[in-house]
Amino acid sequence: MTHLLEVQDLVVKFGLRSGDLTALNGINFTLNPGERMGLVGESGAGKSVAGFSIINLISRPGFIASGRVLFEGEEISAYPLEQMRGIRGNRISMIFQDPMMTLNPVLTIGTQMVETIQAHNQVSAAHAREIALEKLQKVYISSPGKRLGQYPHELSGGMRQRVVIAISLLTNPSLIIADEPTTALDVTIQAEVMALLLELCKHEHMGLILITHDLGVVSQVTEKIAVMYAGRIVEQGPTAGIVTNPRHPYTKGLIQALPQGGGGRGRLHQIPGMMPNLTSIPPGCAFHPRCEHAMDICQREAPPLFGDSENSGLVACHLYSQSR
Ligand code: SF4
């Protein structure tokens, strides 16, 4: 079976006067049609760079230094900008954290949706309006006809994000990349929006890459996870296995930092230290200054990913290389 998406040894750098900084250091993963995957990690882990580089949306001075991205069997990382525009917002849609990054504040929701539909399909304005209405109904927005005539500022944050999700559906994409889609919303609305995304992905058989720092959200929505640290994937595999039996000390720390991870009692666990800056990534295992299990080898050698991607999953940690 052709994968929906295949990311092979992807390296992204930022060219600075002082030299190139590596933001993404050789990541690999695949996604099947209709499959949902979480890219997880703290700020600066490289998860958004990974998501944006799939559709070559890395702004200068960032650039893809090596590696390939294949979408439905086509090597889209080799596409020129014009050809890539035909993929973005069409076969691959993006949902951003802040709906106002997608919505134009001076145009009504209806105008924006009709323009998007007509940019991709040769249909009349009346037909485009019918499609827009149908998509707003799909995201369970109240009074969808009225919303078409409203401006973004007239809607609540949760409603705006529903509109953005409806816009992302306009071209019937086969993949949605959602970058922290609920971070700007309050907790109850977050849960509603995530449940909606899950339902739509299942119903429309769309693949999903969910970029988030929240392992709790990922565990409810995705089937597999890649945990990122300092531009590398440090653990990846089936969601259920990683959440119930994490192996990398960083993944364990992220899970213990969840309210339910600490058993709901006392103070939340905190991973000591900070994610390193791109300019000062420690040698060896980049996590070693924060790791309570660090050994001498950890300071010298970066561990490769060990294991089996389909079953127990892969983990980049010398603890597992020694036990093999
Ligand atoms: Fe900790 Fe070493 Fe494993 Fe890195 S390789 S996570 S420092 S034990």
- Residue 275 makes CB contacts below 8 A (sequence gap 6+) with 41, 42, 43, 44, 45, 229, 230
Atom number, ligand 1, closest to the C-alpha of residue 234: 6
303: nearest Cα among 313, 292, 314: 314
User: What pLDDT sits at residue 19?
Assistant: 85
- Residue 223 makes CB contacts below 8 A (sequence gap 6+) with 35, 36, 37, 238, 239
User: What pLDDT sits at residue 324?
Assistant: 45
Q: pLDDT for 289-324, tens place per residue?
A: 999 999 999 999 999 999 886 677 999 999 998 554
Q: Is there an atom of ligand 1 within 6 Å of 162 CB?
A: no
Atom number, ligand 1, closest to the C-alpha of residue 297: 2
Atom number, ligand 1, closest to the C-alpha of residue 318: 5
Q: Which stretches of the chain score pLDDT less than 50?
A: 263, 324
Cα of 318 vs centre of ligand 1, distance in Å, is 6
User: What pLDDT sits at residue 206?
Assistant: 96
Beta strands across the sheet bearing 62-71: 19-31, 5-16, 62-71, 74-75
What number of other Cβ atoms are within 10 A of residue 50's Cβ?
25
Percent of the chain with pLDDT over 90: 71
Instruction: Out of 232, 285, 323, give the residue to mutate to test ligand 1, the one with the largest number of ligand atoms within 8 Å of its CB.
Output: 285
Cα of 1 vs centre of ligand 1, distance in Å, is 36
User: What pLDDT sits at residue 99?
Assistant: 83
How far apart are the C-alpha atoms of 278 and 2, rounded to whole Å?
35
